[in-house]
Amino acid sequence: MKKRILFGAVMAVSIMTAGLTSCNKGGECKLKTSQDSLSYAEGIIFANMYINQLKNDPNIEIKAFLKGFNAALNADSSEYSYRAGASVGMGTQMRLKYEGDVLGMTVDKKIFMKAFSAAINEDSTIIPVNEAGDIFNAIRDEAFAKKMAEEEAKLAENPIAKENLAKGEAFLAEKEKEAGIKKTESGLLYKVIKEGKGEKAKDNSVIKMNYRGTLIDGTEFDKGEDVSARVGQFIPGFNEGLKLMAPGAKYQFIIPANIAYGVRGAGDKIPANSVIIFDVELKEAK
C-alpha cells in the first residue's frame, strides 16, 4: 500500500512539473502544472479522434483546418452561434456534395437556404414539413436510379460484357432444351434433383443450406455448407429459386445475368453479364 501511495505521489509531482505551459508564438510550450499536462494530453486525444478522417479526406488542408479549429475553439460567447452555424453548414455542404457525386442530385443552394431558414424559424413553408421527407426520398430514388442506369449503359458497351452476354444467351438457349429443365417467368432455369418435404421457403424465411456456385465454364466462385441466411438477402434469381424449394430438396439454378449480378459483375470472380449456376441443398426453412 505504501509503495502505491509513494508511486502515486511521484507521478503527481511528475505531472505537475513535467514541461509545457505557456505556448509562445513559435509553438513551443512548457508543461508546468497538472492543468498544462491535462490540456496537452486532451489535445492529443482529440487529435487522435480526427486524424484518420483528415488523412483520408483529399479536400482537407491541415494548416487551414487548424486555423479554423483554433478560431472556433477560442470564440467568445457572442460568436458561438455563428460558429455553430458554420460547423453545421460545413457538414451540410459535405452531404450535398455526396448527393451530387454519388446520387446524381444537384441542389440549388439559394432555394435550399430559403427553406432551411423558414424551417429553422418555424415559419410557413411551401412544402409542408411532414411531407418533405417523402418528396426528398422519391426524387432521390429517381435520381439514383437514373445515375445507375447511365453507368450500367456505359458498362454494357465494354467488349467483355458484350461477349459474355452473347455466350450466356447461347448457353441458356441450349440448356433450356435439356430434359428436366424448367423455366420461370423471370427467365430463371432450374432442375429438380430431389424434391423436399413440408412448407416451401418464402420471403424472410430463415434457411440453412449447402450450395456451390460456378460459371458456365465450370469455374467455381463460391461454396458453403450449413450456411444460415434469410430469403431476400441474395440476388433476385437465387431468392426466387429458394422459394421453389422445401426442406430436403436439391435443385440446380441456372441464373441469367439480368437476375444475377448483371453488367457490374461481382469482384474479380464473376465477370460482367455472367450466367451463373448454383447447386443448392435446402436443409431447413423456418
Average pLDDT score over residue span 171-181: 97
169 versus 139: the higher-pLDDT residue is 169
The pLDDT of residue 11? 39
Q: Are 252 and 178 in contact (CB under 8 A)?
A: no
Tell me which residue has cell 443448392. 280
Non-local (6+) Cβ contacts of 158 within 8 A are: 272
* H-type alpha helices, the chain: 2-17, 34-55, 62-73, 77-103, 109-120, 129-156, 159-175, 236-242
Res 3 pLDDT > 60 = no
Instruction: Indicate if the pLDDT at residue 200 is higher than 90.
Output: yes
DSSP string, 46-71: HHHHHHHHHHT-TT--HHHHHHHHHH
Mean predicted confidence (pLDDT) in 20-41: 67
**Is residue 2 over pLDDT 70?**
no
Instruction: Name the residue among 234, 82, 92, 18 with its Cα closest to residue 224.
Output: 234
Contact 168, 275 (CB under 8 A): yes
Share of the chain above pLDDT 70, in %: 90
Alpha-carbon span 240 to 232, nearest angstrom: 9
What pLDDT does 26 receive? 54
pTM for the structure as a whole = 0.64
Q: What is the mean pLDDT of the chain?
A: 87
What confidence score (pLDDT) does residue 82 get? 84
Q: What is the pLDDT of residues 230-254, one digit of tens each?
A: 999 999 999 999 999 999 999 999 9
**228 vs 100 pLDDT, higher one:** 228
Q: Which residues are CB-contacts of 225 (< 8 A; sequence separation ≥ 6)?
A: 210
Q: Which of 133, 143, 56, 135 is nearest to 99 (CA)?
A: 143
How do residues 114-145 score in pLDDT, each as one tens digit?
Answer: 999 989 888 889 998 889 999 999 988 988 89
Q: Which domains does the chain have, with CATH numbers?
A: 2-74 (no CATH), 101-152 (no CATH), 159-285 (3.10.50.40)
